[in-house]
Chains A and B, each alone.
Chain A
Amino acid sequence: MATIEFNNVCVDFPIYNANTRSLKKRLLQVATGGQLGADQQGRVVVRALEDLSFTFKDGDRVGLLGHNGAGKSTLLRLLGGVYEPSSGCARINGVIGSLIDISLGIDSEATGRENIYFRGGLLGMTRAEISKQIDDIIEFSELGNFVDMPMRTYSSGMHLRLAFSVSTILRPEILLMDEWLSVGDEGFKHKAEKRMTELVQVTNILVIASHSREVILDTCNRVIWLEHGRVRMDGDPESVVAAYFGG
């Protein structure tokens, strides 16, 4: 049982090296990003998310739509527990798994096998747990003997295959994704797709940020459209997608 409950959540980023606000910045703000402002002490802050209130329950497959800088990634990080809201209240119950930046923590001088341990450790597995699953991971990645070679000898496809194989081994209750993961050549892509679908099926809550209409329509049953850090629209996929992509 997993739930996510947001009540008037705001996220403000303090910017310490931008003391002067100029007209140029004012103008830029209209085009992209959140809202620049100043807090009580006169520091420059970027308001990345403003006044978000929603509840996600088991079975929700939430898609996040929005232009660059609309606050999608910040929201994902908030959901992942990286940031705590500057004001408001975010209650998140459930084991969180993140498929954002699956290559994080990979050391190219270390071997594939060592990197499986690093990556697994970062995702919260203990050494013993990884050791139990390592054969499956290696088999899935189809790296064969390459797994004992330094990662710098890998092609970028192999690199991603390894990262993918480790990162999708967990079955979290809340799954966070930034774009649908798709890796490898034709054969692998098919296998990866199958694993992703399986992963998405067993997770209680999925939150995915995407620019792709197909992904949103295929996977989600609820879509939130963010604009300048605020919820512009929140509803069923068809209507939000229609409005966002300009119908």
Chain B
Amino acid sequence: MRKSSTITALSDIAMAARRYSLVGMLGWQDVRQRYRRSALGPFWLTISMGVMIASIGVVFGQIFNSPMKEFLPFLAVGMIFWGFISSVITEGCTGFIAAEGIIKQLSIPLFVHILRVLWRNFLILAHNIVIFPLVLLAVGKPLSWIAFISIPGLLLVVVNLTWIALILGVLCARYRDLPQIVGSILQILFYLTPIMWMPDLLPKRAGLYLLDSNPVYHLLEIIRSPLLGQLPTTTNWEISLALALFGWFLAIAVYGRFKRRIAYWL
């Protein structure tokens, strides 16, 4: 008697949520493992991110002739959250593959491994975000109350990233070429999305295509613009929400269909 695939997927996800304490431990362990015996620990990530933002900021600020007061905070938020988004997606690809040892020995809800990737990267994000107030201080830009809107924004982004990581985790377990392809696509998206360049530099017509048709732009915008003191547009919210709904339907279908095969593929 085989349960319907939707129930399989949902019950696995529900069971994984109940194992939050394990997710928490594994996520912390991942972060600490990378930086054991180093004095600064995960703050090395913060430092390297900070250095990158500063150097890109100086060079591209000059090239684009953007005022530092606008460009540097824009770049900092963009880079920090893009780092979060892209590493959740790349590590989501190897979420199941990397957990092969556990998956093949213990029947832990598989979604735990996806949550682990999310939590680990969230912890890293928490380290990186320290840069943002420093940048604001450096350029003397105040933070407005609107910034709080970026919290629901981040939540919606996380909801979106979860389904992306889940689907990619499943597919990459089966097709091992996929992580490379995803890596290249992310690289392209990094340049297509206004992270290093500000959207108002684009000519009007090109902007319409490049921005509106880019889902990453909308996702980034619901976090970034409140932090820079602007409200995200309704389109930003609508697209992000629609993406979450559509994506989760797809993810549950894919996960329910293939969950039982994952252990075989590893």
Beta-carbon contact of B21 and A105 below 8 Å: no
Q: Is B65 in the interface zone, CB < 8 Å from A?
A: no
Beta-carbon contact of A98 and B106 below 8 Å: yes
- B37 neighbours in A (Cβ, 8 Å): 109
Q: Is B1 in the interface zone, CB < 8 Å from A?
A: yes
User: CA A121 – CA B25 in complex, angstroms?
Assistant: 8
Q: Is A199 in the interface zone, CB < 8 Å from B?
A: no
Within 8 A of B (CB), among A214-246: none
Closest-CB distance, B27 to chain A (whole angstroms):
11
User: CA A81 – CA B26 in complex, angstroms?
Assistant: 21
- A100 neighbours in B (Cβ, 8 Å): 105
Q: Is B22 in the interface zone, CB < 8 Å from A?
A: yes
User: CA A196 – CA B105 in complex, angstroms?
Assistant: 20
Q: Mark B10-39, 1 if CB is under 8 A from A, else 0.
A: 000000000101100110010011001100
Q: Is A96 in the interface zone, CB < 8 Å from B?
A: yes
User: CA A127 – CA B108 in complex, angstroms?
Assistant: 16
Query: Is chain B's binding surface mostly helix, strand, loop or mixed?
Result: helix
- A77 neighbours in B (Cβ, 8 Å): 104-105, 263
Q: Is B264 in the interface zone, CB < 8 Å from A?
A: yes
Beta-carbon contact of B264 and A81 below 8 Å: no
- B102 neighbours in A (Cβ, 8 Å): 104-105, 122
Beta-carbon contact of A80 and B107 below 8 Å: yes
Binds B, one of A31-39, A63-71, A82-90: A82-90
Closest-CB distance, B32 to chain A (whole angstroms):
8
- A101 neighbours in B (Cβ, 8 Å): 105
Q: How many residues on the B side are at the interface (Cβ–Cβ under 8 A)?
A: 24
User: CA A129 – CA B22 in complex, angstroms?
Assistant: 12
User: CA A107 – CA B30 in complex, angstroms?
Assistant: 10
User: CA A173 – CA B75 in complex, angstroms?
Assistant: 56
A86's nearest neighbour on chain B, judged by CB, is B264
Question: Which of B25, B101, B106, B264 meets A117, CB within 8 Å?
Answer: B25
Q: Is B141 in the interface zone, CB < 8 Å from A?
A: no
Within 8 A of A (CB), among B91-128: 101-108
User: CA A123 – CA B25 in complex, angstroms?
Assistant: 13
User: CA A117 – CA B108 in complex, angstroms?
Assistant: 16
Q: Is A110 in the interface zone, CB < 8 Å from B?
A: yes
A122's nearest neighbour on chain B, judged by CB, is B106
User: CA A86 – CA B33 in complex, angstroms?
Assistant: 37
Within 8 A of B (CB), among A91-111: 96, 98, 100-101, 104-105, 107, 109-110
Beta-carbon contact of B25 and A118 below 8 Å: yes
The answer to whether residues A126 and B21 also contact, given A13-B264, A107-B29, A109-B33 and a CB cut-off of 8 A, is: yes
Beta-carbon contact of B36 and A82 below 8 Å: no
Beta-carbon contact of B21 and A118 below 8 Å: no
Beta-carbon contact of A121 and B105 below 8 Å: no
Q: Is A59 in the interface zone, CB < 8 Å from B?
A: no
Q: Is B257 in the interface zone, CB < 8 Å from A?
A: no
Question: Which of B22, B33, B105 meets A82, CB within 8 Å?
Answer: B105
The answer to whether residues A89 and B1 also contact, given A117-B25, A118-B29, A127-B25 and a CB cut-off of 8 A, is: yes
Q: Mark A105-145, 1 if CB is under 8 A from B, else 0.
A: 10101100010011001111011000000000000000000
The answer to whether residues A110 and B29 also contact, given A82-B263, A126-B21, A127-B21 and a CB cut-off of 8 A, is: yes
- B36 neighbours in A (Cβ, 8 Å): 109-110
Q: Is A14 in the interface zone, CB < 8 Å from B?
A: yes
Question: Which of B22, B29, B101, B174 meets A104, CB within 8 Å?
Answer: B101
- What are the 5 A-B residue pairs with the smallest beta carbon separation, nearest first? A81-B107, A121-B22, A84-B260, A109-B36, A126-B21
Interchain residue pairs with CB less than 8 A apart (13) = A16-B174, A16-B265, A80-B107, A81-B107, A82-B106, A82-B107, A104-B106, A105-B101, A110-B33, A118-B26, A121-B21, A122-B106, A127-B25
Known: A118-B29, A123-B106. 14 other contacts (CB 8 A): A13-B264, A14-B264, A80-B105, A81-B107, A82-B104, A82-B106, A96-B107, A104-B106, A110-B33, A114-B29, A118-B26, A121-B21, A121-B26, A122-B22
